[in-house]
Structure 1
Amino acid sequence: MSSQLMRALLLALLSTVIALPVGYFVAHWAGWTVFCLGLALQMAFHFRNFARLDRWSHNPVVDPSLEGEGAWDGIFGRLYRHEKDLREQIAERDHQIAMLFAAGQALTDGVVLLDTHNQILFCNSTAEDQLGLVIRTDRGQSVANIVRQPEFVAYLEESDFSRPLTMRTERKEDRVFSIHIIPYAGSRRLMQVKDVTQTERLDRMRRDFVANVSHELRTPLTVLAGFLETLQEFDVDREERNRYLEMMADQSKRMQSIVQDLLTLSSIESAPPPDNEPVDMASLLDKLHRDADGLSAGRHTIIVENDGHNDLRGSEPELVSAFGNLVANAVRYTPAGGKIRISWRASPQGGEFAVQDSGIGIEAKHIPRLTERFYRVDRGRSRDAGGTGLGLAIVKHSLNRHQAQLDIKSTPGVGSCFTAKFPASRVSSL
């Protein structure tokens, strides 16, 4: 400002220097006229630049043509640089906000930001899908007016967020969500919504597994303990004793089968990826045929079909175990005189191993759960048939490790067809 003041004083002094001779030699009024004209020109110059500055202040833009004359040029230059820096900072801030917004949208967990009155400030697309929110219309609405489950409303009112709330929503009853509210920025709240359906399912399966193992082993152990106690405390004749020992042996074999299947399932789950070696399907089908004949003891008609053009690639022991379980089930659950068909077909799209029987069949409601461990359609019939309840679980895991799927079709009273479908990558040409 000192340079601008000096410039103004110099211009005023110049006007005075010119006005004094004019007033002395011409007329006083002429001198004053020259002096006032000089000041007016100076004021017009400043007013012109001030008017430009006023117009720019109403619509500040980064304009390289924004320049003045004299001292005003420095002022306009500084304004230009300041506006340019400010807009760069705003652009950088907007970019960071956009990146933060994109990161929030990319989260697999739902995120809802609430104000001090639990009104919605923001939510990502995951939360919209989970809770049925629509941010365009629900912003500013109380979240309790949209998610109306009593347990959720009570969770908000109690304000005890030390533990998350686990619940199902009316919109998605088949899903289980864990809701955790975290206070932030004073009394605002961040609501995290996590889909724990799979975790809950696995936890239920773990509980069911422990309960089922205990139940399956308790029965034979009870029988063994009862017979041992009888033999220890009472004198029984040789024939009765042999009968007890035979029943004890049967229960021991049953426990042995359960433990062996559990070990097989455990080894499959923890084993490295299966081999990719060719498996001779002709030889494998022949082995399955002989095993089926031995288990059937002539009570069934067993047919084997092989297109003879392609083999499988994978772990032969695992495939033998999986296919063997399918064949054994067909023999167990097909009445005497029934027919069992074992087939292998391959095409450019992949391979299919199928076991079809004319057995008792399975109701449609049971099919989705058949591969669960210890799941039985009829517990009494399964035990009588000699099954452990783990066979189809072993089949499922073995096939999954070979990128194959198990397709089950069944009609009660007509029969069932279990088909293992392998991708083309698992089929090798001879």
Structure 2
Amino acid sequence: MGLSLEDVTEIRPISYIRVAVLTILTVIALLAAAVGVFFGLVPALATFSVALLLVGLYHINNLFKLVRWLRTPVDEAAPLPRAFGLWDYVFADVNRRASTASRQQERLSAALERFREASQAMPNGLLFLSMSNTIEWVNRLGEQHFGLDRARDQGAPVTNIVRQPDFVRYLQGGHYEEPLVFTAGRPIGRTLMVHVVPFSDDMRLLMSEDITQGERLEAMRRDFVANVSHEMRTPLTVVSGFLETVIDGLEDLEKDDIRHYLGLASEQAGRMQRLIQDLLTLSALETGAPILHEEPVDVGTLLGEIQQEAQVVSGGRHTISLDCSTHARLLGNNKELYSAFVNLAINAVRYTPAGGHIRLTWRQRGAVVEYMVEDDGIGIAPEHIPRLTERFYRVDRGRSRETGGTGLGLAIVKHVLSRHQGDLLIDSEPGRGSRFTACFPVRRLVA
């Protein structure tokens, strides 16, 4: 069985040291014997002692050199000590081993750095926990999910920082077959799904995923289905009731009564038709698809049509004025812009008592162009304003149904403006009217 290169490098220094020690002792013994032959036993012993002392001092000096070199910080790169014979070989061997260890450490450090970079790029939060749940390491997403600070919290038990009862029970229970979904206390309102994976006898990996947006979308979907069902049920019930009344009393009812009941049923059917049309419009806008056809839209012509539509809905009960002296053209989709602008105008008509005033205005202000709808109607309380663009959100549900609203108009307005790089500003006060302003960047104006 042959020896490998590593075996040879291990044997050679040992053999060399043995030979060197035997040689030194032999030389000292021969020197002492020669002195003893010529000068007697005492001089021989003295010579032997002095020689051993000098050799010992030589080795102690080289040993101090070695210790001083080993204690030098690695980043200072101290020169290798020099010596003769045995110690020169020892210094070279130690230096070779130190270089090998340094290269291995550099490789390990590089691998650890690559692992950390990969962990930071993960789309999940990562926490490395000991069996006692102390934090060994956490990536940036993990810090965000649990409100941690790696420099401050490393080495602390995670259950001392994240005190949510379900989370604490999950970690301490040891049953990690299924993930846990819970709401983290910091930051408030963040819903997390966590999964623990043991990967050694004393370490566990905790992975966290922020599912807040998904939970909100699911809640919105449930609310949307419930709202649509509710909004459709009311007019369907009315239509069904009137039709049953007419059918049951067809021979007894007067023509005027039949006409009245059928008119009310037709009105409710129209309301359902508008609701379905608004739902289709909103669904198309929410897909996020780009605008199919953009063209320069003549603002003056568009607002003139909207004023006429608002006057038809008002039925002469309001004074509706238009302030638009410009011949500007706005780059956008004519159908979508009409839908947004007319919704704002008709909303003002619906929520302004008879005899009120409604003003439609187009103006340029600095780097922004604005379409404003102002009224002196009932106004809106401040707590309702942030939610006005939610689907089916109504300040006064009874009044909205009476006026024929579907609860989707402002949601449509918000999406149309967003697709045209615009914003909706709302300024209102109960009893003093409202002002809705659609703002567009001036770069959308076409010369």
Q: TM-score range by the shorter chain?
A: 0.7 to 0.9
Q: 1:229-240 to 2 correspondence within 5 Å?
A: 229-236=244-251, 237=253, 238-240=255-257
Q: TM-score, normalised by structure 1?
A: 0.85
1:389 to 407, 417, 434: 407
Q: CA deviation at 1:4?
A: 5.1
CA shift digits 1:281-338 (9 cap, x unpaired): 1221222222222222322222222362743222222111111111111112111211
Instruction: Establish whether residue 75 from structure 1 lines up as the match of residue 90 from structure 2.
Output: yes
- Asked whether the equivalents of residues 69 and 78 of structure 2 are also in contact (C-alpha less than 8 Å), the reply is no
Q: CA deviation at 1:66?
A: 2.8
Classify the secondary structure of the residue corresponding to 2:300.
helix
Find the counterpart in structure 2 of residue 404 from structure 1. Answer: 422
> For residue 150 of structure 1, what is the amino acid of its counterpart?
P
2:175 to 160, 169, 192: 160
Further displaced range: 101-110 or 323-332: 101-110
- Asked whether the equivalents of residues 288 and 327 of structure 1 are also in contact (C-alpha less than 8 Å), the reply is yes
Question: 2: distance between equivalents of 1:51 and 1:36?
Answer: 22
- Asked whether the equivalents of residues 136 and 154 of structure 2 are also in contact (C-alpha less than 8 Å), the reply is yes
CA shift digits 1:107-153 (9 cap, x unpaired): 66544333223333344455455444455554444433333333333
Q: CA deviation at 1:395?
A: 0.7
> For residue 189 of structure 1, what is the amino acid of its counterpart?
R
Find the counterpart in structure 1 of residue 351 from structure 2. Answer: 333
C-alpha change, 1:7 and 1:125, in structure 2 (3 Å) is closer
Question: 2: distance between equivalents of 1:18 and 1:107?
Answer: 74
C-alpha change, 1:113 and 1:339, in structure 2 (3 Å) is same
1:244 to 242, 248, 261: 261
Question: 2: distance between equivalents of 1:115 and 1:37?
Answer: 60
Question: 2: distance between equivalents of 1:314 and 1:162?
Answer: 53
Further displaced range: 93-102 or 296-305: 93-102
Q: 1:177-326 to 2 correspondence within 5 Å?
A: 177-186=192-201, 188-236=203-251, 237=253, 238-270=255-287, 272-274=289-291, 275-306=293-324, 308=326, 310-326=328-344
Question: 1: distance between equivalents of 2:215 and 2:374?
Answer: 35
C-alpha change, 1:153 and 1:314, in structure 2 (3 Å) is same
C-alpha change, 1:110 and 1:251, in structure 2 (3 Å) is same
> For residue 246 of structure 1, what is the amino acid of its counterpart?
G
Question: 2: distance between equivalents of 1:281 and 1:370?
Answer: 26
Q: CA deviation at 1:171?
A: 4.6
2:103 to 51, 73, 88: 88
CA shift digits 1:170-198 (9 cap, x unpaired): 45444433344333323543333433332
Find the counterpart in structure 1 of residue 398 from structure 2. Answer: 380
Instruction: Establish whether residue 65 from structure 1 lines up as the match of residue 83 from structure 2.
Output: no
> For residue 257 of structure 1, what is the amino acid of its counterpart?
R
- Asked whether the equivalents of residues 80 and 91 of structure 2 are also in contact (C-alpha less than 8 Å), the reply is no
C-alpha change, 1:331 and 1:140, in structure 2 (3 Å) is same
Q: CA deviation at 1:411?
A: 1.0
Classify the secondary structure of the residue corresponding to 1:425.
helix
- Structure 1 unaligned spans of 5+: none
- Asked whether the equivalents of residues 309 and 346 of structure 1 are also in contact (C-alpha less than 8 Å), the reply is no
Find the counterpart in structure 2 of residue 415 from structure 1. Answer: 433
Question: 1: distance between equivalents of 2:114 and 2:442?
Answer: 42
Question: 2: distance between equivalents of 1:51 and 1:306?
Answer: 95
C-alpha change, 1:226 and 1:165, in structure 2 (3 Å) is same
- Asked whether the equivalents of residues 12 and 38 of structure 1 are also in contact (C-alpha less than 8 Å), the reply is no
Q: TM-score, normalised by structure 2?
A: 0.82
C-alpha change, 1:110 and 1:301, in structure 2 (3 Å) is same
- Asked whether the equivalents of residues 67 and 77 of structure 1 are also in contact (C-alpha less than 8 Å), the reply is no
C-alpha change, 1:42 and 1:353, in structure 2 (3 Å) is same
- Asked whether the equivalents of residues 310 and 346 of structure 1 are also in contact (C-alpha less than 8 Å), the reply is no
> For residue 283 of structure 2, what is the amino acid of its counterpart?
S
Question: 1: distance between equivalents of 2:44 and 2:138?
Answer: 76
- Asked whether the equivalents of residues 300 and 325 of structure 2 are also in contact (C-alpha less than 8 Å), the reply is no
Instruction: Establish whether residue 147 from structure 1 lines up as the match of residue 162 from structure 2.
Output: yes
Find the counterpart in structure 1 of residue 445 from structure 2. Answer: 427
Instruction: Establish whether residue 113 from structure 1 lines up as the match of residue 131 from structure 2.
Output: no
Question: 1: distance between equivalents of 2:325 and 2:187?
Answer: 47
- Asked whether the equivalents of residues 66 and 80 of structure 1 are also in contact (C-alpha less than 8 Å), the reply is no
Instruction: Establish whether residue 49 from structure 1 lines up as the match of residue 62 from structure 2.
Output: yes
Classify the secondary structure of the residue corresponding to 2:340.
helix
Q: CA deviation at 1:22?
A: 7.7
Further displaced range: 402-411 or 8-17: 8-17
> For residue 400 of structure 2, what is the amino acid of its counterpart?
S
Classify the secondary structure of the residue corresponding to 1:168.
strand
Q: CA deviation at 1:374?
A: 1.3
Question: 2: distance between equivalents of 1:92 and 1:405?
Answer: 54
Identity across matched positions, percent: 44
RMSD: 3.3
Q: CA deviation at 1:410?
A: 1.0
